Amino acid sequence: MKGVTIVGLAEIDTGKDVSYATDGPHPHLDTIFEVSNKYLRRVFNEQQLNEFKTDCLHNIRGDRDSTVEQFIKSYYDLVKKEYQKQYANADSALNQDIFSEPNRPKLLWGNCLDFLRRMDSESVQLMITSPPYYNARDYSQWETLDAYLDEMSCIIKECYRVLDNHRPFVFNVGDIFDNDNRQTKSTWGKRRIPLGAYFTMIFEEHGFQFVDDFIWDKGEVQTQRHKNGNRPYPLYQYPINCYEHIFIFYKHRLDETPYPCPICGCLKVNGNAYSGVGIKSWECKNLDCFKRSAGNRGKRFSARTQLMTGLQRAHNFVDEDLLRMWRRDIVKLAPVIKINSKGHNTLGHTAPFPREIPEYAVRVFSGMEESVLDPFAGSFTTTIESLRLGRNSIGIELNRTLFRDAVLKRIPGALFTKPKEVDSEWI
């Protein structure tokens, strides 16, 4: 290829032609590689580094700021790709299906544990779900509460691996009244089961951090429990159960990989104090960086602040009305009315959550075109809502025979392209 050779960049031994036309990379890219050379070698081996440099030289164009931005993005992408290679069980065909065509909903039919085990690590930016509440519905039955919690624990462990770093899992669950089947199967074994507390322990055991618990106030619900046998005396009294939890758990996997300075793009950085458990901070040591403090300190940042800054775009702006509605951690939402005047279930599912839950979660915890996964999708409320909001939406549901027809009817064909369906039995 004929063109102007950029001094310095051309010296890289890539085995490829690295000369460029006059509209080639900005000279600051050369500076980034010069200043970062020693540091890049600590992160990548010779081959990785050469390929990375070649890609940057061929693809990064534009002015200085845009060059810095593109370089940083390429660097983060490469670090992620190398991290994902450490997981041996990923199924590339499945991942290709799930992460291509972001405006197409992905309906995965089968056990979420099987699907999760085949997904790339840290590939999903937000998880939202409501699991089966132990034996509260007839679509799922476990022998004992412990068998149920063990199964949920395996799934949550896998969710932790698949969720991207510094990202949340929004988890709705209720403290149901049921028999834990630990001591007796008779009606005397019935009690309030604090599923929310058990799940919090499971999430923390697998590395998640508990951050918030919205109490969903369901208003007046249909139950006779508060009548307490019509005995207005001590020790007879029990309240109606009219709340559920909407937990916010975060993943902060401690990642010690150095990241480039968000101002100059150089990797000449030193470790700074940890800005939170699992969050490594860095300080730019490039004396020629475009922005240094009055005391001549370099920019301090973390992969998490970089992520949060990157999401501050006009298309991710969150409505004031929505924020006002979720300002307090007790939120009143009417349960979904699914039975119509003729007594038919219009949604085909006995326990859908209100669409306001995924709407809030999607808008507040993810950016446009990012991937949102619901591992217990039911009637795919999360999938439909996140698609409407411009996310790559993926739902996994075990009961294909029970829910498929109703789900397909719920997906408004006029709005969306045909869903991509993957059945675990067909793979």
Ligand X SMILES: C[S@@+](CC[C@H](N)C(=O)[O-])C[C@H]1O[C@@H](n2cnc3c(N)ncnc32)[C@H](O)[C@@H]1O
Residue window 311-350: x/- pattern of binding to ligand X, with contact defined by CB under 6 A: --------------------------------------x-
Please give the angle made by the CA atoms of 278, 284 and 290, to the nearest 5 degrees: 135
Establish if 37 lies at the interface with ligand X (CB under 6 A).
no
Using CB under 6 A, pick the residue from 18, 398, 419, 422 that binds ligand X: 398
Q: How far is the CB of 89 from ligand X (least distance, A)?
A: 18
What is the residue-wise DSSP string for 36-103? Answer: HHHHHHHHS-HHHHHHHHHHHHHH--SSHHHHHHHHHHHHHHHHHHHHHTT-TT--HHHHHHHHS-TT
Q: What helix, strand, coil percent values describe the chain, rounded to 5? A: 35, 15, 45
Q: Report DSSP state, residue 176.
A: -
Q: How far is the CB of 137 from ligand X (least distance, A)?
A: 7
Query: For residues 113 and 389, which CB has a smaller minimum distance to ligand X in the complex?
Result: 113
Q: Which residue has the tokens 């002015």?
A: 63
User: Nearest residue to ligand X, using CB?
Assistant: 378
Bridge partners, 192 (sequence order): 177
Query: For residues 311 and 427, which CB has a smaller minimum distance to ligand X in the complex?
Result: 427
Question: Which tokens in the block code for residue 75?
Answer: 């660097």
Question: Whole-angstrom Cα distance, residue 423 to residue 401?
Answer: 11
Establish if 379 lies at the interface with ligand X (CB under 6 A).
yes
Site for ligand X (CB under 6 A): how many residues?
20
Query: For residues 181 and 272, which CB has a smaller minimum distance to ligand X in the complex?
Result: 181
Amino acid at position 57, single letter: L
Question: Whole-angstrom Cα distance, residue 182 to residue 399?
Answer: 27
Q: How far is the CB of 99 from ligand X (least distance, A)?
A: 19
Specify the stretch interacting with ligand X by CB under 6 A; choose among 56-64, 80-88, 163-171, 351-359: 351-359
Establish if 376 lies at the interface with ligand X (CB under 6 A).
yes
- CB-based contact 286:53 (threshold 8 Å): no
Establish if 381 lies at the interface with ligand X (CB under 6 A).
yes
Residues 232-251 within binding reach of ligand X (CB under 6 A): none
Q: How far is the CB of 189 from ligand X (least distance, A)?
A: 23
Q: Name the site residues for ligand X (rule: CB under 6 A).
A: 111-113, 130-132, 139-140, 349, 351-353, 376, 378-379, 381, 396-399
